Amino acid sequence: MKRFLLACLLVFCASCFAQHRKGQFRLEHPTAGHQLYVAFEAGISGQIDDLLRQVPQLESLIAEYQMTFQKGIAISDEKLASLEANAKELCGSAASVTLLRGIYKIHLSTPDTSELLALAEKLERLPSVRYCSIVSLESVPPPSDIPPLTPNFRPNQTYYNANPGVNMQYAHEMGLTGTGIRIRDVEYGMNKQHEEFTDNDAVQVAQGMTISPSATAAYTEHGTAVAGILCADDGTYGITGLSHGASEFTLFPEWQQGMDPDRLFAISQSIENSAGGDVIIFEMQTGGATSTGYVMQEFHQVSWDLTKAATDAGITIVAAAGNGNQNLDTTFYQSYNERGDSGAIIVGAGTPDLFHNRVYYSTYGARVDVHGWSDNVFASGTYINNQSIGNDFNQNYCTFAGTSSATAIVSGCVVALQQYYFDQTGGYLLPQELRTLLKETGIAQGSGGNIGPLPNMEAAILALQAQLGVKSTSESIFSIYPNPAKESLNLHGTFTASALAEIIKTGYKTENFTFFCGNLRLETLPLSLKVGGIDFNEIEVYDTIPNPQEIKNEVDGILFFSPSAIESYLTTNTINDEVCFCIGETTAKALLGKTNNIVVANKPSVENVIIQCINHFK
Please tell me the predicted confidence (pLDDT) of residue 414.
98
Please tell me the predicted confidence (pLDDT) of residue 499.
63
Question: Considering all CA atoms of the chain, what is the largest pairwise distance in Å, rounded to the nearest integer?
Answer: 94
- Domain extents in the chain: 20-136, 154-468, 479-544, 557-617
Please tell me the predicted confidence (pLDDT) of residue 512.
83
Please tell me the predicted confidence (pLDDT) of residue 542.
84
Pairwise CA distance, residues 499 & 448, whole Å: 30
Please tell me the predicted confidence (pLDDT) of residue 471.
55
From the first residue on, what is the mean pLDDT of each consecutive set of 10 residues in the chain (618 residues)?
Answer: 31 44 85 90 92 94 93 95 94 93 91 88 95 89 63 87 94 94 97 94 96 94 97 92 96 95 97 97 96 95 97 97 97 95 97 95 97 96 90 95 97 97 93 95 95 96 87 43 44 58 70 83 74 83 86 91 90 92 86 88 82 85
Instruction: Please give the helix or strand (H or E) that residue 527 lies within, else none.
Output: helix 524-531
Whether 154-468 and 557-617 share one fold: the answer is: yes
CB atoms under 10 Å from CB of 71, counted, come to 17
Please tell me the predicted confidence (pLDDT) of residue 482.
39
> ω before 526 within 30° of 0 (cis)?
no
* Strand intervals (E) in 61-120: 67-71, 103-108
Choices 3.40.50.10090, 3.40.50.1000, 3.40.50.720, 2.40.50.100: CATH for 557-617:
3.40.50.10090
Contact between residue 166 and residue 602 where contact means Cβ atoms under 8 Å apart: no
- Amino acid letter, 214: S
> CA Rg, the chain, in Å?
27
CB atoms under 10 Å from CB of 520, counted, come to 13
Q: Residue 18 has what DSSP assignment? A: G
DSSP three-state, residue 595: coil
Residue 99's nearest CA partner among 80, 85, 112 is: 80
Please tell me the predicted confidence (pLDDT) of residue 153.
84
**What's the predicted TM-score (pTM) here?**
0.74
Please tell me the predicted confidence (pLDDT) of residue 202.
94
The architecture that CATH gives domain 20-136 is 2-Layer Sandwich (3.30)
Q: Where are the alpha helices (DSSP H) in 346-456?
A: 402-425, 431-441
Pairwise CA distance, residues 82 & 274, whole Å: 11
In terms of residues, how long is the chain? 618
Spatial CB neighbours of 47, under 8 Å, sequence gap ≥ 6: none
Concatenating the DSSP letter of every residue in 164-185 gives TS--HHHHHHTT-S-BT-EEEE
The answer regarding whether domain 154-468 maps to CATH 3.90.650.10 reads no
